[in-house]
Structure 1
Amino acid sequence: MKVYHSINNLPLFKNPVITIGTFDGVHEGHRNLIQKIKSLSNEKQGESVLITFDPHPRLVVYPDDKSLRILTTLNEKISLLKKEGVDHLIVVPFTKEFSLLSAKDYLQNFLIEKLHPSIIVTGYNHSFGHHRDGNIEMLRRFENEFHYKVEELNKQLVDDIAVSSTRVRIALNEGDIELATDLLGHSYSISGIVVHGQHLGNKIGFPTANISINNSLKLIPADGVYAVRVNYKNEKLKGMMNIGNRPTVDGLHHKLEVHLLDFNKDLYNEELEIHFVKQLREEKKFSSVDELKEQLKLDKENTITVLK
């Protein structure tokens, strides 16, 4: 898959079959859409082209709305899409100026002039342009003038994509990692840099790596203890992760920290990629540090069992 981070100087694609979306999470619904694009491009002896945006359009259109949480960062999205066998991914820089394009300018000056599509694949509810007044009916009106065809997605597929995205977020917010994994078709992950903490884990026999997340918009699963798999450089590690305020020992700051099994190296300033497997339990305040230590021993045993 070739990736482009600008809409200028794009190559001339061969009979491009294009579709547009945020593809956040790259979940099973998205995969069904991608298979449709690939199938059509094969029929046309052309190329599959996915168009997405960075940053997320909501950040530009609604800058005061701080509620957005994403399932995949741009790098994660690119990595997942590469596995799907797409020919081309265009990451459009979503600017204020771009957001102000009228629907006609969006179609003519962006889609047609830059991409020369053979087929535009879209859903019944797709809208575009300033005020979002462009839609599938508009695309159909200009088919003959601009020499492309519109392929409408099955309504059920479009609805499944929207529902799947919402269900993944709900599952993660409830700590239901197994459901989220089923909906995504892959494990949910976060990446971050190991930073210095208070070294409280060392004192109770469970040293942890404190994680500073790379992207503040990334959705963090519900507070609790999780069995996780960790990628560190070329090493595949196992661990248990705590997300929360550590009410037994601190309770003041929200932390993400992972205890790695059978691993004892200095990780400060190193990047870890953490894949969630299962929530072991919710966060809990214990009556003493000793009680916490006993629970952590049980958590470790459960982690080993889950990650076998």
Structure 2
Amino acid sequence: MKIIKSKKESFHQATAITIGTFDGVHIGHQKIISRLINTAKKQGLDAVILTFFPHPRMVLQKDTSIKLINTLNEKAEILENLGLDILYIKEFTQEFSRLTAEDFVSKILVNQLNVKKIIIGYDHHFGRNRTANIDDLIAFGEQYNFEVEEITAQEINDVSVSSTKIRQALLQGDIKTANSYLGYHFMLNGSVVKGKGLGHTIGFPTANIQIDETYKLIPKHGVYVVSSIINNKTYYGMMNIGVNPTVSNDIKQSIEVHFFNFNNSIYGNALTIKLLHRLRDEIKFESVDALKEQLKNDEISSKLYLENNEPK
């Protein structure tokens, strides 16, 4: 899959396109993307997703509090695995938001992306102040020689999933619902950095995960069963998201993973942590001994979950 961020690059091969932020690339998105890819193959076109970054709300509403399910790299990896040909990431700016609908169609879709087919939802709006709709797009298609395939309300409603619902589920710690809507395990990508070493002192050494993208959504504080691939081998473990209230007065959030049957040093490694199941809330215990006892119980619960739910 090719990733394009250039403002100037034009496509020589004719394209089939769908447009959107596609945060989470959930099962509803996947239905549209599958249709796009299959249509493109049949018609000898490149399958292209036109997406935007930063998220329009960050620019138009100055909403820096919005957190996204995927980082750009995560989104790209998921789309590549689905078989997409090209991911075109358009920088979303105030200037871009002021483009008229016809300028967007003629300058971006036609002249730059060489569009011959657009697959889009019935409720799609675009152009300055989002005043143009699907009917306008169909009219532009007749004018500029491209076809518009409309995804009906019924087709979209058949999959009652949205990025907003997934964000809410993650913030509530409902990883089961989030994963079922995503069609894959929610993931955190980060690098392993040195922590305070408190885990070693109580028999549960942890890898401290640092996530660089401040816009990445972090689920509700608590303890989760997780997996990660390290040196081409899958390891399972339990992860705490929170502030370690029993052993620390620090209010800064940390993400720490204790891997089972793993003793290697992985400082500096980039890891993808997949969240499989949520065990419990983060709790402040009366003593370190009480915390150690709970961690032993968490490990038993984690392994029991893995035994019953993960492929052998």
Shorter-chain-normalised TM-score: which range?
A: over 0.9
Deviation at 1:44, TM superposition (A): 2.5
Q: Amino acid of the residue matched to residue 68 of structure 2?
A: I
Q: Amino acid of the residue matched to residue 130 of structure 1?
A: R
Is residue 304 of structure 1 aligned with residue 306 of structure 2?
A: no
1:72-151 map, 5 Å: 72-151=70-149
Determine helix, strand or coil for the equivalent of 1:228.
strand
Match for residue 243 of structure 2 among 227, 245, 254: 245
Runs of 5+ consecutive residues of structure 1 not aligned to the other structure: none
Aligned to 2:12: 12
Change (3 A) 1:288 1:176: same
Query: Structure 1 length normalisation: TM-score?
Result: 0.93
**Structure 1 CA distance, aligned partners of 2:97 and 2:270?**
34
Given that residues 221 and 242 in structure 2 are in contact (C-alpha distance below 8 angstroms), is that contact kept between their aligned partners in structure 1?
yes
Determine helix, strand or coil for the equivalent of 2:76.
helix
Given that residues 192 and 272 in structure 1 are in contact (C-alpha distance below 8 angstroms), is that contact kept between their aligned partners in structure 2?
yes
Change (3 A) 1:295 1:122: same
Aligned to 2:257: 258
**Structure 2 CA distance, aligned partners of 1:173 and 1:9?**
39
**Structure 2 CA distance, aligned partners of 1:11 and 1:75?**
22
Given that residues 161 and 181 in structure 2 are in contact (C-alpha distance below 8 angstroms), is that contact kept between their aligned partners in structure 1?
no
**Structure 2 CA distance, aligned partners of 1:231 and 1:214?**
20
Deviation at 1:233, TM superposition (A): 4.4
**Structure 2 CA distance, aligned partners of 1:178 and 1:3?**
31
Given that residues 222 and 243 in structure 1 are in contact (C-alpha distance below 8 angstroms), is that contact kept between their aligned partners in structure 2?
yes
Deviation at 1:160, TM superposition (A): 6.1
Aligned to 1:290: 289
**Structure 1 CA distance, aligned partners of 2:160 and 2:134?**
17
Deviation at 1:223, TM superposition (A): 0.9
Given that residues 242 and 256 in structure 1 are in contact (C-alpha distance below 8 angstroms), is that contact kept between their aligned partners in structure 2?
yes
Q: Amino acid of the residue matched to residue 23 of structure 1?
A: F
Aligned to 2:215: 217
Aligned residues: 306
The farther-off stretch of 103-112 and 39-48 is 39-48
Aligned to 1:58: 57
The farther-off stretch of 110-119 and 181-190 is 110-119
Q: Amino acid of the residue matched to residue 8 of structure 1?
A: K
**Structure 2 CA distance, aligned partners of 1:268 and 1:85?**
33
**Structure 2 CA distance, aligned partners of 1:212 and 1:228?**
16
Match for residue 153 of structure 2 among 155, 159, 164: 155
Q: Amino acid of the residue matched to residue 292 of structure 1?
A: L
Percent sequence identity over aligned pairs = 43
Query: Structure 2 length normalisation: TM-score?
Result: 0.92
Deviation at 1:202, TM superposition (A): 1.3
Aligned to 2:310: none
Given that residues 6 and 93 in structure 1 are in contact (C-alpha distance below 8 angstroms), is that contact kept between their aligned partners in structure 2?
no
Q: Amino acid of the residue matched to residue 44 of structure 2?
A: Q
Determine helix, strand or coil for the equivalent of 2:162.
helix
Deviation at 1:121, TM superposition (A): 1.5
Q: Amino acid of the residue matched to residue 80 of structure 2?
A: K
**Structure 1 CA distance, aligned partners of 2:222 and 2:300?**
16
RMSD, aligned α-carbons: 1.8
Deviations 1:220-272 (A, max 9, x none): 11111111002334332211100112222224322111111111222222222
**Structure 2 CA distance, aligned partners of 1:104 and 1:202?**
61
